[in-house]
Amino acid sequence: MSLSREFAAFVGKLQYEDLPAAVVDRAKGVTLQALCSALVAHDMPASRQALALMQEEEAGGGGVATVLCSGSKLTKAGAAFVDAETIFAGGKWDTFRMLTHPGIAIVPAALVAAEITGASGKMFLTAVAAAYEVMERMAAEFIPTVMSRGFHAGPVFGIFGAAVAAAKLGGLDENQVHSAIAQCVNLAAGNLEGARSGGRSLREGGAVRNALLAVALAKHGTPGGEMTLEGEAGFYHAYAGNNRGQLRYSFTGDNRADLAQITRGLGRDWIFLETLYRIYSTAGYNIAHVDVTAKLCEEHNLHYADIDRIEAVVNWLETEYPSPAFPSRGIDNPPQVGSTQYFTAWGAVERGYPLLRGAQPGPGEADPPAVLELMHRVTLIPTVRRTLFGPRITVFTKDGRSFTKEGTGREFIWDVEEQARRIRPIAPGLAITEAQFAELIDACRCLDHSERAAERLIALTIPT
């Protein structure tokens, strides 16, 4: 079978009862993370702009889907677009292998489809799990190479996750899911140059909108083609440069991926469980620098006044964001506000980073002077084989000692209970009450007992 046929069979047959407990738990957690990101961004300019854009674009159209945080009614595509843009603006994303953020596309598509169909929480969780698994398997080994060709892997792969979620909740059969995946190949898009040259690129908002179009085409009988992923002129040829698994860049240094491995163990080995939470609103590779450095300093009672310098051994691609082919944050760039050195210094000086803050100080905010000074004494050491998001931090003290802590890359992978605990501090900055926020957390925690999952989740993001 073609890759898209294998994925379609997996999606079509998957039932809630097939999901391991850890997968159900992660589906609840990523849903909570996305909704929290939307709540953080409820009144941000990008969120207001997206809503105004769609209200003007769809003037006179029927409103069948509810927008997160506002309660406005738009078309399915319009609501999903606004939700994705709002989640994106909030900065509280989930992350898979540094450069994709599945929840920004998948959760909006799942919410819209579940609201329209009245899906139960179990159906919602099953669709979310299927969507993450398909998207992440497609993306896993190809993200750096796709980025090196000028595409942004987030929306390029995100469209497939969004389409799978909507197709599963919409009741599409295996043939229709196959066609939806095939149509996503025609509609996938995302480019790096706009953001590099001063613009703001359309990312997952466009992906989820196109995903719903792909699902609609499939539902109404438009065939998509048989080998659209791995064919000679297919998706991997177009976005990775070849359909033979040859890689220009990789996270591990390997230069080849086996396309047959993409679907191997599907439904048994869940790559979805690699998804982690970007709890701080900064690039994913920075979050571990905050926590690993903070824990190292706590364990050895180290303070700013004790520290001579810090060294961090990191995966080399983390120093060449977004791609070694088009670096905007190369290793030669001096430390600055928002850099990895800056977040390492925050971990050492403040033992953390404010959850309601962006990657840089906002209006009325200021950095501790010690952070701004110490970041110039943080050195990044890139290496090919280092695990993603797993820096090895060494603090050298002024009295000649040194202390080291190894990150594992799994510091931000946890269950929904820990997610609830870690995300609660954002409550004072939200438009909803702390009691309503607690109710939303509980609704995510108990999704598998919900009869109409999306309606309740969406309603709990709207200020009462």
Q: Could you give the domains of the chain?
A: 3-277 (1.10.4100.10), 284-406 (3.30.1330.120)
**How many secondary structure helices (H) and strands (E) does the chain include?**
18, 8
pLDDT, residue 330, reads 65
pLDDT, residue 393, reads 98
314 in helix, strand or coil? strand
Region for residue 217 given its phi and psi (left: phi exceeds 0; alpha: psi -120 to 50; beta: otherwise): alpha
Q: What is the dihedral angle through the alpha carbons of 75, 77, 80, 82, rounded to the nearest 10 degrees?
A: -80
- How confident is the prediction along the chain (464 residues), in pLDDT tens digits per residue? 999 999 999 999 999 999 999 999 999 999 999 999 999 999 999 999 999 999 999 987 778 999 999 999 999 999 999 999 999 999 999 999 999 999 999 999 999 999 999 999 999 999 999 999 999 999 999 999 999 999 999 999 999 999 999 999 999 999 999 999 999 999 999 999 988 888 888 899 999 999 999 999 999 999 989 999 999 999 999 999 999 999 999 998 899 999 999 999 999 999 999 999 999 999 999 999 999 999 999 999 999 999 999 999 999 999 998 899 998 776 778 999 999 999 999 999 999 999 999 888 988 899 999 999 999 999 999 999 899 999 999 999 999 999 999 999 999 999 999 999 999 999 999 999 999 999 999 999 999 999 999 999 999 999 98
**Residues 218 and 170: beta-carbon distance below 8 Å:** no
Helix (H) or strand (E) holding 73: strand 73-74
Q: What are phi and psi of 308, to 5 degrees?
A: -90, -50
Q: What are phi and psi of 309, to 5 degrees?
A: -160, 165
Instruction: For residue 136, count other CB atoms closer than 10 A to its CB.
Output: 23
Q: How buried is residue 350: exposed, middle or buried, by Cβ count under 10 Å (0-12/13-18/19+)?
A: middle
How far apart, in whole angstroms, are the C-alpha atoms of residue 125 and residue 269? 17
27 in helix, strand or coil? helix
Token pair, residue 96, equals 């898979």
Query: Which residues is 35 bridged to in the sheet?
Result: none
From the list 148, 380, 222, the residue with the least C-alpha distance to 286 is 380
How far apart, in whole angstroms, are the C-alpha atoms of residue 71 and residue 388? 38
Query: Which residues is 392 bridged to in the sheet?
Result: 313, 406
**Residues 161 and 134: beta-carbon distance below 8 Å:** yes
What is the 3 state secondary structure string of 200-238? CCCCHHHHHHHHHHHHHHHHCCCCCCCCCCCCCCCHHHH
From the list 21, 30, 106, 31, the residue with the least C-alpha distance to 457 is 31
For the full predicted model, state whether its pTM sits above 0.85: yes
pLDDT, residue 464, reads 86
From the list 306, 41, 13, the residue with the least C-alpha distance to 173 is 13
